[in-house]
Amino acid sequence: MSATAAFIACALLAALAVFQAGLAAGMPWGRMAWGGRQTVLPQRMRVASLLSIALYAAFALIALDAAGVVEVLPGLLSNIGIWVLTVYGFVGVLMNAISRSRPERLVMTPVALMLALFFLTIALGV
């Protein structure tokens, strides 16, 4: 089950990476991200979107490693990492849920919740 959770989490992270790439390229999706204050992100926020893509790749690696799909990280780092991602995921749920942006609340809160639950599933080894 952990491997399945890791694969689904990776699919969600890949979808978020595509979304962030679109934001970085100037797509008018800004109302669903970064607090929803802009439709098209300013340059500094576009850079942040690009950095998010790199973070999502690291998150995917941690999830796959913690689920035992790949072995690239030391066991302790993998175990700590998945718990950090779990906590980060639930903080993300809260942050999206309190966003001033209705589109961000409606779209990103459920995505963040799904990721947090998949990370928790991996962390628990279920």
Over the stretch 11-68, which tens digit does the pLDDT of each residue have?
A: 999 999 999 999 999 999 999 999 999 999 999 999 999 999 999 999 999 999 999 9
What was the pLDDT predicted at 75? Answer: 81
Backbone angles phi, psi at 35, to 5 degrees: 90, -5
Q: What is the pLDDT of residue 1?
A: 82
Does the pLDDT at position 126 exceed 80? no
Structure tokens at 59: 């998150």
Question: Mean pLDDT across the chain, nearest whole number?
Answer: 96
Q: Shortest CA distance to 34 belongs to which of 22, 21, 48?
A: 48
